Amino acid sequence: MKRSKDRILIVESNPEISDFIGRQALSSAGYQVFSVADASSAIAKTLQVSPDLIITNIHLPGLSGKDLMIALSSQGINTPIIVIAEEGKESEVIQTFRLGAVDYFMWPCQEPEIIRSVERIISQIHEHRDRTILEKRLSDINQQLQQRVRELTAIFSMGKAVTSITDQRALFDKINHVAAQVTQADISWFLLREEEKEKKFVLVAQQGLPDYLSEFLMDAWDDGISSLVVMSGEPLSLHGEPIKRFRIKSLGESILIVPIKVQRQVMGILVVMRSQPLPFSDSDQHLMEAVADYASISLVNARLFRAIEARAQALQDLASHAQNSERITQEKLQVVQHELEDSSKLMVTLLDELSQDVTARWNPTQRQNLTQVREKLIGLNIIAETLLPPSFSDDRLPDSSTNIKEIIEILIRRYQSVAKQNKLKLTSELPEFALTVQADQTQLQEVIQGLLANAIQFCEAEGEILIRVAQISNSQAQVDVLNSGVISQKDRKAVFKTELENKTPKLRSAGIGISLALIQQIVKNMNGQVWVDQAAENKTAFHLLLPLNVPKA
């Protein structure tokens, strides 16, 4: 492949040969040609123009072509060389190959032979250059990838630390260490807001600070610059001359400060510094912000853990109180039961004896009253036996009815914001009157919410979701949940299987909804049906058929 920028130096003392090779053959082929008549001039010209290829005669006045090759090699010049030799000089050509020649011409030769040889050598030169450039690029990319791997590994370890480390001191040290690692900083520190004193920040972790500053660990410390970030709530990066205005100028010449926010409030500060005025890049800032996000999660988790512990303690206290109350009630009921049992037994025995005493003077009315008292006492004994709660529980649920229209209106209001955030259109078609079905309200709400969440998760981008309710007979109502998008017949058959739901990637999040497999089971328990098909308007449609709550005649 010939290029106009390719430079060829011809070293030939015979003007006719030099003109033939240079002007007639190579210049007309698009090469830039330089010509000299001896080896000394060739060395000077090579240093001046750095030719891509040299064509030299073996026999030159003064230094020979072989001497020229040795001289260039001794100076570290490895330009490819083609030699020109006369017939009968094959042995000398072989010697030039040992010195590094890449090809030769036996003079006289034809123009096509010269061009073919030059094009082949120039093509090899280009390939070698391209390969060198590619190797350099690959090396640079490999170094960048290795750096990214180190950064991602550090971020991954940060994520694991947030979810696994319960010791806050250890977690703070981890956050600070990762911040310094991903930004290749020499010094780093982590400031955390005191909850009792909102304007003060405590140094909770540090790396590389001088001894006189590290003594502030776990104590309030103002570094003189982080307050700017606390006020603005935005990251700050400085290097060189601007840092000299702050008290931390002796620590380094480049600084990056990133806020840690919880509900838009700055709760902490991450700071990294370099000793040299090498500015932190946008990539460094993004990585620091990722670490700050993890730190924010850890702070939220810590608050949640404290709230959960307090809630758990409160529930434990409540449960303990309820258990004590239940024990008191049980003991009182047992005392009452025993007293009733003993009293009723004595009274029944006494009445039996009185009723069997033929000498006693009882008129018919008195005997009838005595019999009734006996029966009442036996009844009290039965009541005593039922005072204590049974040792078993009845799992049967009472019959229930639910206004399905009201449930859907609630869910539509709840999910409108979710749909808008995902650029989806959520509409409904509801009857003007209340529609009551035989179903538990809580479970039915979970079923319809699960179908709606599924529609939002799998609806196509900027698509539409429609919930439609209608009474289709005197005894049945039907709910249709339609969303834009096509579902294959194969997937329709397996859509209510848990395995399919786990493997199908969701397009977006829609909160928590129960699985389609559980929905099918619940609907079956309601004596209803649920199925999916492809609607005519190119929408996926889930149908829910439920029995109406028909008043008994």
pTM over 0.85: no
**Do 495 and 517 meet the contact criterion of CB atoms below 8 Å apart?**
no
**Residue from 122, 131, 263 nearest 193 by CA:** 263
Domain segments of the chain as ranges: 7-130, 162-299, 402-547
Which architecture, in CATH terms, is 402-547?
2-Layer Sandwich (3.30)
d(CA 236, CA 258): 7
Pairing status of strand 265-274 against strand 187-193: antiparallel
Q: Which fold has domain 7-130?
A: Rossmann fold (3.40.50)
User: CA angle at residue 121 from 115 to 127, to 5 degrees?
Assistant: 130
Please give the CATH number for the structural domain made up of 162-299: 3.30.450.40
Q: Which residues contact 32 (CB under 8 A, 6 or more apart)?
A: 4, 5, 6, 7, 8
Question: What pLDDT sits at residue 165?
Answer: 64
d(CA 393, CA 395): 6
d(CA 359, CA 365): 17
Query: CATH topology of 7-130 equal to that of 402-547?
Result: no
At residue 524, what are phi and psi to the nearest 5 degrees? Answer: -60, -40
Question: What pLDDT sits at residue 494?
Answer: 80
| Cα dihedral 73, 74, 75, 76 in deg (nearest 10) | 50
CB-based burial of residue 298 (10 Å sphere; 0-12 exposed, 13-18 middle, 19+ buried)? buried
**Tokens in use for 410?**
């609630």
Question: What pLDDT sits at residue 468?
Answer: 94
Q: Which residues contact 3 (CB under 8 A, 6 or more apart)?
A: 30, 122, 126
N-term to C-term CA, the chain: 98
Which parts of the chain have pLDDT scores under 70?
Answer: 1-4, 147-148, 151, 154, 160-166, 195-198, 305-306, 317, 320-348, 350-362, 366-367, 369-370, 372-400, 498-504, 511-512, 551-553
Please name the helix (run of DSSP H) or strand (run of DSSP E) that holds residue 261, with its range, or none. strand 254-262
d(CA 172, CA 170): 6
